[in-house]
Structures are given as C-alpha cells and as structure tokens.
Amino acid sequence: MNSPLYWGLVAAAGQGRRMARDDLPKQYHRLAGRSVLAWSVDALRQVSGMAGVMVVRARGDDSDWARLGLDSATDVRSCRGGHTRQASVLAGLEALRAWGAADGDRVLVHDAARPAVTAAAIQRLIEAVGDDRDGGLLAVPVRDTLKRADEHGRVSETADRTGLWQAMTPQLFPLGRLRDALVACADMAVTDEAQAMERGGARPRLVIGDPANIKYTYPDDARWLEHALQDQRKGGDG
C-alpha cells in the first residue's frame, strides 16, 4: 500500500469585510514586500514532500491572482470558492481529487490570512499527527484571562480558561473524512474544519503552534505581521 500524499489547500475566497484599509481583498495586501496570499502559499510549498497546493479563490480576483505569477508553478493550482467557507473548502477538496488526490491522502487546510505560518510549524504538525485518522491542528493554549460580555459591553463573568486553546491553521485531515464531515455540516455553521470533524465524533490532536501565526483581521495587524515576516526572512524560515 502506498503512503498517503500531503496536499495544501489555501482558503482565499473571503472578502475581508472587517478590513477597512482599501477595496482590495486582504489576501492581496502586501506585507514585507509580498502579498499575504503569496506568503501563505509559499509556506506550504516549502514543506518537504508536499504533492501540491490548491488555492481556493474568489470570483472577480483574476487580475490580482495573475499578478502573483503562480499560474506558471507546476505545484500550485487554483479553483473557485463558494459563498461560505465550508463550500469553498469542499470545492477545493473536489479540485484536489480532480488533480489526483485520493481520499486517503492528507490535506492541510490553511487560511490565506495567516501569512506568518512557518514551514517548520507545518512540518511539526505533520509529524505529530502521523497517521491519526482524526487529524490535528496547530493551536496555542489560551494565556489571558477571558471575560464574557453582556449586551451593554460590560463584564458579565470571568470564563474559566482551563483546557482552552486558540485554534490556528493549517488543520490536517484525511481528505475523504474531511469531505464527508463538511457535507454532513452543510446545514449548520462551523467556524473551522476541526469543528466539522468534531461533529462527526472525531477528536483532532492539538499541536503547539507559534504565537506569530496570527490571522490578519484588522488594519493594526499589518504592522505586527510585517515585523514577524521580516524576522522570518532574516532567519530563512517561511
């Protein structure tokens, strides 16, 4: 029996509505001299043994995508996403199958808006999960005290943070199991792929990630990510 292949899937079909910087989707903003999307894709491409990377794009971004120059790369392809994250990831999984991925292969689903992920962290995830059918994800334990707010923006209670982790990406699962989990959740909202797997009874493994792997969500994140990406460039990782 052949060993499963590893494939990257970058979710880049969102519009970044909370990002007020300009009309350009945040995955095409430039940080540390490159687009957010290019940083995210290249982190996956740098992982040893990666079979290929599928980028799930939004409609209407052809000119932005073309400027990245990735269409000529033999290990990168793109497809169109849907109206929800679940639909987009499903579209990406089907595109990977058309490319040659098998249901038993492993898929690393990554948010395009997490440009500071490193190849080293992705490799650590792959090694920690191994052949676990429930998969796993990069995450960090919650460090700060958590407050629950009421409808007036005041503290209603302090939440117990014991055992709580902050989920990140990539998230790694067998392709067929992830596809089935997302299809089963078609009528409900899930915020990440791990939640879809959990609803089907899986218990994904939590693998320590890097605090720098934050999601580019608000304009103020740009300055922090610029520094993180410049440090990576100097260190030769990512």
Give the model confidence (pLDDT) of 79-133 as tens digits. 999 999 999 999 999 999 999 999 999 999 999 999 999 999 999 999 999 999 9
* pLDDT of the residue at 142: 95
* H helical segments located in 71-118: 85-99
For 27, residues 6+ apart whose C-beta sits below 8 A from its C-beta are 12, 14, 16, 35, 36, 37, 40, 112, 113
Residue 72 domain flag: yes
Q: Strand (E) positions, 45-133? A: 50-57, 76-80, 106-111
Residue 71 domain flag: yes
Residue 76 domain flag: yes
Phi, psi angles (nearest 5°) of residue 80 = -90, 140
CB 55 within 8 A of CB 77: yes
What's the residue count for the chain?
238
Question: The CATH number of the domain where 109 resides is what?
Answer: 3.90.550.10
Residue 53 domain flag: yes
* pLDDT of the residue at 88: 96
Residue 1 domain flag: no
Chain segment 128-183, per-residue pLDDT in tens:
999 999 999 999 999 999 999 999 999 999 999 999 999 999 999 999 999 999 99
Percent of the chain surpassing pLDDT 70: 95
Chain segment 9-59, per-residue pLDDT in tens:
999 998 765 554 567 999 999 999 999 999 999 999 999 999 999 999 998
Percent of the chain surpassing pLDDT 90: 87
Domain residues for the domain of 105 are 6-235
State the total domains in the chain: 1
Residue 108 domain flag: yes
Rounded distance between C-alpha atoms, residue 203 and residue 238, angstroms: 29
Residue 66 domain flag: yes
Q: Which residues pair with 208 in a beta bridge?
A: 139
